[in-house]
Amino acid sequence: MIPPIASRFVAGETPAEALDHARSLNDRDVTAILNLLGEHYEDRLPADEDAEAYLRLVEDIADSDVEACISVKPSQIGLDAGVEVFRENAERIAAHGADRDVFVWVDMEDHTTTDATLDAFERLAVEHGGGVGVCVQANLERTPEDLERLADLPGKVRLVKGAYDPPSDVGLSEKAAVDEAYREQLEYMFEQFDGGIAVGSHDPAMIERARELHDEYGTDFEVQMLMGVRDDAQFDLAEEYEVYQYVPYGDKWLSYFYRRVMERKQNLTFALRAVLGR
């Protein structure tokens, strides 16, 4: 069982609990992006096991009354065990998602994985049309060029600021520089993409910028935020825009919860308040 203190950020240990959470989001016009927690498997076996778990999750979503998609980490489905393992598992999951009409996102990990992730995404996007999406990070110098490549592909692109600290020769570390890069890349997407823009940020300034760009260019976008972060803002935004909540679940919740607390100490206060009921 997930202790109450962590349940602000993690939906539960089982797919059934994740689907229950997704259903409660749907009631408030928010769609869930379900993520089974797990990453960095060096051996093929656990990577294949998590890929199988995603195949079953696709079935569960398709057979339910719930609106949800999934998001997978490359190192969870085999990238550390070999690029071929990752490609095979990504292909199996995307093919099953396409068969059952469940959208499949590919998360982006540290900068050493960007090429392999984008190459795999390109194959999947060409093969499965609009049913897949990939995340790119504004804090990498290469991202403007990557966006040019992605602009011509089907599928969706989630722009985030970046959760990994890149070395100074490949990326930005100053918050102001990352914010500026995010704004520029967002504008490029609204100018050049036909749609499929996902604003993966809790930052009110970035969401406001997306609204302005939407008014200027008319391109549609969706907002994506994490479970437990600005939940009220998610429900408010859902009255006007498409909003998705990234919903982690699974038995590897402890390190994820720890990360949320470390990135923002306030998160611990929020979680404690939820437990104490105030």
Minimum separation from the CB atom of position 163 to ligand FAD (A): 3
H or E stretch covering 223: strand 221-226
Q: How far is the CB of 19 from ligand FAD (least distance, A)?
A: 18
Sketch the per residue contact string, 2 through 21, with ligand FAD: x for CB under 6 A, - otherwise: --------------------
Candidates 87, 158, 209, 260; catalytic one? 158
Q: Could you confirm whether 158 is annotated as catalytic?
A: yes
> What is residue 129's DSSP assignment?
G
**Which residues, 6 or more positions from 265, have their beta carbon under 8 angstroms from its beta carbon?**
none
Selected from 195, 204, 208, 240, the binder of ligand FAD by CB under 6 A is 204
Distance in Å, CB of 39 to ligand FAD, minimum:
11
* CB of 263 vs ligand FAD, minimal distance in Å: 7
Please identify, using beta-carbon distances, which residue of 89 and 137 lies nearer to ligand FAD. 137
Nearest Cα neighbor of 32 from 159, 222, 236 is 222
Please tell me the distance from the alpha carbon of residue 87 to that of residue 51, in angstroms, as a whole number: 11
The one catalytic residue in 48, 80, 107, 179 is 107
Does residue 224 belong to the site contacting ligand FAD (CB under 6 A)? yes
Q: Which long-range contacts (CB under 8 A, 24 or more apart) does 22-27 make?
A: 22/66, 22/67, 22/68, 22/247, 23/64, 23/65, 23/66, 25/245, 25/247, 26/66, 26/67
Our finding on whether 103 is near ligand FAD (CB under 6 A) is: no
Q: Which stretch binds ligand FAD (CB under 6 A): 2-10, 20-28, 50-58, 225-233?
A: 225-233
Q: How many residues bind ligand FAD (CB under 6 A)?
A: 22
- Per CB under 6 A, the list member of 78, 162, 166, 250 interacting with ligand FAD is 162
Give the Cα separation of 71 and 69 in Å (integer).
7
193 DSSP assignment: -
Give me the least distance between CB of 148 and ligand FAD, in Å please.
Answer: 20
Determine the interface stretch with ligand FAD among 18-26, 81-89, 93-101, 155-163 (rule: CB under 6 A): 155-163
Report d(CA 82, CA 91) in Å as an integer.
14
**107 is a catalytic site residue:** yes
Rounded to whole angstroms, how far apart are CA atoms 94 and 114? 19
Burial of 109 (0-12, 13-18, 19+ CB in 10 A): buried
Q: Segment contacting ligand FAD (CB under 6 A): 24-32, 36-44, 47-55, 222-230?
A: 222-230
- Residues catalogued as catalytic: 107, 158
